[in-house]
Amino acid sequence: MAESVTAEKVKAKMAGLLRQPIERLKDDALLTDLVSQSLLLVEMVIELQEEYSVRLVQDDLKDVKTVGDLTRLIEGKAA
């Protein structure tokens, strides 16, 4: 049986992709504070979609501002 995707697992993956300690990825941390270049944000979002076999479109991310917003979105899409 496939392992379930949880917000915590997504956060751990994000920490690896961003090469940042997971403690820095608090739920209310702004993504723009963690990722200085928008291109790295694109790269991370694409990698997360590949990792969890989910598909996001621009509209899905229009209200995503924080780490918590993104992890919940991926968790929800993967469910």
Partner 1 sequence: MIDENELWILSFYRTSEISGALFFGTLARSMRPGPIQHDMTKHFSDEALHSWYWTSCINNLGAQPLKLGEAYQDQYIAAAGLPVNLMEVLAITQVFEKRVINQYARHSQAPDLSREVRETLAKIMIDERWHIEWIQKALKQMEKDYGEGLIEATLKHFWEADQEVYRKTMQEHEERVRHLFKPR
What residue ranges bind partner 1 (CB under 8 A)?
38-43, 45-47, 49-50, 55-58, 60-62
**Interatomic CA distance for residues 4 and 40, integer angstroms:** 26
Amino acid at 31: L
Least spacing, CB of residue 49 vs partner 1, in Å: 6
Least spacing, CB of residue 44 vs partner 1, in Å: 9
**Nearest to partner 1 of 23, 50 (CB atom):** 50
**Nearest to partner 1 of 36, 58 (CB atom):** 58
Task: Return the SS3 of 78.
Answer: helix
21 secondary structure, DSSP code: -
Amino acid at 8: E
Q: Which tokens is 60 given?
A: 């899905």
Least spacing, CB of residue 31 vs partner 1, in Å: 10
